[in-house]
């Protein structure tokens, strides 16, 4: 609809008079009319106003039910407080702190001094707090203050990151120590031979050289195991698909690990036709490590039993058992840690690097299997490895 309200009529009258004057001045009437139309049209357009914008309807109030629905399925624990009293706690928060926290002061829920200090701090903020729920836990708390006395607390679990960082630090420290020990021995004996080359008799020199060779071999074995562990960890997400005749592989690896020195102690009970999906080289290394451990730490006069069989429709089993002194129960949970030894002196004397079972654990994990170590002091140790059988889906 054409809007004439507010049209500048006075200016239009002046425009008409100006056009008439132009005609009397000798301008063509049609041209004068055209000038008037353009002038009047511009005046009319300038007088038009855009339609007034409708005011936006106010957003509905964000009540507790909506906030509860918003955060309920979040994997991170989230707590909403009103004047420091818990009004909303999602499922993850209730699992972490208990459902009883709803309605109580958040300080009572958290209790940790640094968390309470964060609550009392003005404005939005955050803090990383160790030991919030359990002694070794590490949590990042992010706090956002909202109008109306509301505050949203988000809890981010940083325990895994802290564990990885701690494990990396421990690994570097342990590896450095393990490498330093044989290197120091080698350097010491070499310097002795160099300083007193003419005064060392043949027998003593031979003993020194034997020690240097033994320590160098130990150093080489340690480096080889570290490189092997690194390769296995790099491939841990790559699930092996090759179908392996595990019966033949385990028998060959067991005989190689026993060698001529321990062949008389090796007892095999291997069912034929046991197949698994796996990496041939890593599975052979796994069998060798387990049997090598059994010969090192088992009694010198008792057999090492190796059994391979089908455990069930989904898994095949490898069992390695020695009849040695056994392992105390407090050591069992730590046996697969890198460089962990129940008897460091005996392990180093036998040439162990402290990485054998760590390598076995990572190989089993890469193959999506299960490792179990059971031991009774005075009765020996039994290690069971369960590996997935090849899929029959084609």
Mean model confidence pLDDT for the chain: 81
Q: Which of 265, 302, 268 is nearest to 380 (CA)?
A: 302
In this prediction, residue 298 has a pLDDT band, given cuts at 50, 70 and 90, of: confident
Q: Where are the domains of the chain?
A: 9-47, 64-157, 163-233, 239-388
pLDDT for res 58: 46
- The residue-averaged pLDDT of 255-271 equals 89
In this prediction, residue 1 has a pLDDT band, given cuts at 50, 70 and 90, of: very low
Q: Over the stretch 351-393, which tens digit does the pLDDT of each residue have?
A: 567 788 999 999 999 999 999 999 988 888 999 999 998 875 4
In this prediction, residue 155 has a pLDDT band, given cuts at 50, 70 and 90, of: very high
Q: How far apart are CA 177 and CA 181, in angstroms?
A: 6
- The residue-averaged pLDDT of 168-185 equals 76
Given 177, 275, 334, 367, which residue is catalytic? 177
Q: Over the stretch 50-63, which tens digit does the pLDDT of each residue have?
A: 656 565 544 445 56
pLDDT for res 59: 44
Q: With pLDDT > 70 as the criterion, what percentage of the chain qualifies? A: 79
Q: Over the stretch 4-27, which tens digit does the pLDDT of each residue have?
A: 555 566 556 666 666 676 666 666
Q: How far apart are CA 137 and CA 143, in angstroms?
A: 19
Which CATH fold would you assign to the domain 163-233? Helix Hairpins (1.10.287)
Beta strand 304-310 with 266-270 is parallel
pLDDT: which is higher, 68 or 245: 245
- The residue-averaged pLDDT of 43-49 equals 60
Q: Over the stretch 218-254, which tens digit does the pLDDT of each residue have?
A: 888 888 888 888 888 778 778 888 899 999 999 999 9
pLDDT for res 394: 46
Lowest mean pLDDT among 56-65, 105-114, 172-181, 351-360: 56-65
- The residue-averaged pLDDT of 29-40 equals 65
pLDDT for res 6: 53
What's phi and psi for 264, nearest 5 deg?
A: -70, -20
Q: Which two tokens stand for residue 239?
A: 């699930």
273: left (phi over 0), alpha (psi -120 to 50) or beta: left
Residues in contact with 35: Cβ distance below 8 Å, sequence separation at least 6, in sequence order: 19, 22
Q: Over the stretch 69-80, which tens digit does the pLDDT of each residue have?
A: 888 888 889 999
Q: Give the CA distances from residue 389 to residues 64, 273, 311, in Å, rounded to whole numbers and listed in that order.
A: 52, 11, 10
- Specify the CATH number of the domain 239-388: 3.30.565.10
Is residue 334 flagged as an active site residue? no
Question: Cβ(341)–Cβ(347) under 8 Å?
Answer: yes
- Specify burial of residue 320 (Cβ count, 10 A radius: 0-12, 13-18, 19+): buried
Which CATH fold would you assign to the domain 64-157? Beta-Lactamase (3.30.450)
């Amino acid at each position: 609809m054409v809007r004439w309200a507010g049209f500048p009529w006075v200016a239009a009258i002046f425009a008409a008079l100006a056009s008439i004057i132009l005609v009397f001045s000798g301008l063509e009437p049609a041209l004068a009319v055209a000038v008037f139309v353009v002038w009047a049209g511009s005046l009319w357009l300038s007088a038009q106003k855009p339609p007034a914008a409708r005011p936006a309807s106010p957003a509905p109030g964000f009540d507790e039910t909506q906030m509860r629905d918003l955060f309920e399925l979040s994997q991170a624990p989230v707590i909403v407080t009103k004047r420091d009293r818990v009004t909303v706690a999602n499922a993850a928060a209730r699992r972490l702190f208990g459902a009883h926290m709803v309605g109580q002061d958040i300080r009572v829920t958290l209790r940790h001094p640094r968390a309470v200090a964060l609550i009392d701090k003005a404005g939005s903020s955050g803090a990383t707090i160790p030991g919030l729920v359990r002694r070794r836990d590490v949590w990042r708390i992010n706090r956002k203050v909202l109008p109306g006395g509301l505050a949203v607390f988000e809890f981010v679990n940083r325990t895994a990151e802290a564990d990885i960082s701690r494990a990396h630090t421990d690994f570097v420290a342990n590896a450095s120590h393990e490498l330093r020990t044989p290197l120091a021995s080698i350097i010491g004996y070499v310097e002795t031979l160099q300083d007193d080359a003419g005064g060392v008799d043949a027998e003593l020199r031979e003993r020194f050289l034997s020690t240097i060779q033994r320590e160098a071999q130990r150093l080489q074995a340690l480096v080889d195991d570290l490189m092997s562990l690194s390769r296995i960890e790099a491939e841990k997400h790559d699930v092996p698909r090759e179908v392996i005749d595990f019966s033949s592989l385990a028998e060959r690896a067991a005989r190689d690990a026993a060698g001529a020195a321990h062949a008389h102690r090796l007892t095999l009970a291997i069912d034929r036709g046991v197949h698994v999906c796996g990496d041939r080289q890593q599975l052979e290394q796994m069998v060798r490590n387990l049997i090598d451990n059994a010969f090192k730490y088992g009694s010198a006069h008792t057999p090492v039993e190796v059994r391979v069989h089908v455990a069930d429709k989904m898994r095949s089993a490898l069992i390695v058992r020695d009849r040695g002194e056994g392992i105390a129960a407090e050591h069992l949970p730590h046996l697969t840690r890198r460089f962990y030894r129940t008897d460091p002196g005996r392990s180093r004397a036998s040439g162990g690097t402290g990485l054998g079972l760590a390598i076995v654990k990572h190989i089993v994990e890469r193959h999506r299997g299960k490792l179990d170590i059971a031991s009774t002091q005075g009765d020996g140790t039994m290690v069971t490895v369960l590996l997935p059988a090849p899929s029959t889906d084609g």
